[in-house]
Amino acid sequence: MDLNAMRADYVLVRRWWKDADGWTEAELAWADRGVKAVVDRDDTEMIACWAGWLAGLAEEIRRFESMVRSAEDRMRTVGERKAA
């Protein structure tokens, strides 16, 4: 189990929960405690569950953010062509 990859995914997903989904600080703290508890217990089965779930969410977020950046780039290009 790569805990560093899981942590990186969690940072991304947590930011998304806060910025895009509007989670409260209490909700984020609840999730923080849940992840920390399984890592502190060295509960490999639950760590694997969290890691897999977070990896999937993180990939969805990365794909979505990539699509948004691509769309923004296309809009900029069209705008620049019209301005020229």
Secondary structure of residue 37 in the 3-state scheme: helix
pLDDT at 82: 79
Burial tier of 74 (Cβ tally within 10 Å: 0-12, 13-18, 19+): exposed
pLDDT confidence of residue 77: 87
C-alpha span between 79 and 84 (Å, rounded) = 9
pLDDT at position 1: 76
- Tens of pLDDT, residues 40-78: 999 999 999 999 999 999 999 999 999 999 999 889 888
Whether the pLDDT of residue 81 is over 90: the answer is no
The pair of structure tokens assigned to 66 is 């990539």
pLDDT value, residue 78: 82
Containing domain of residue 9, as a range? Answer: 3-83
Average pLDDT on 21-31 reads 98
Q: How many domains does the chain have?
A: 1
pTM: 0.82
Helix (H) or strand (E) holding 61: helix 44-83
Q: What is d(CA 72, CA 32) in angstroms, rounded to the nearest whole number? A: 33
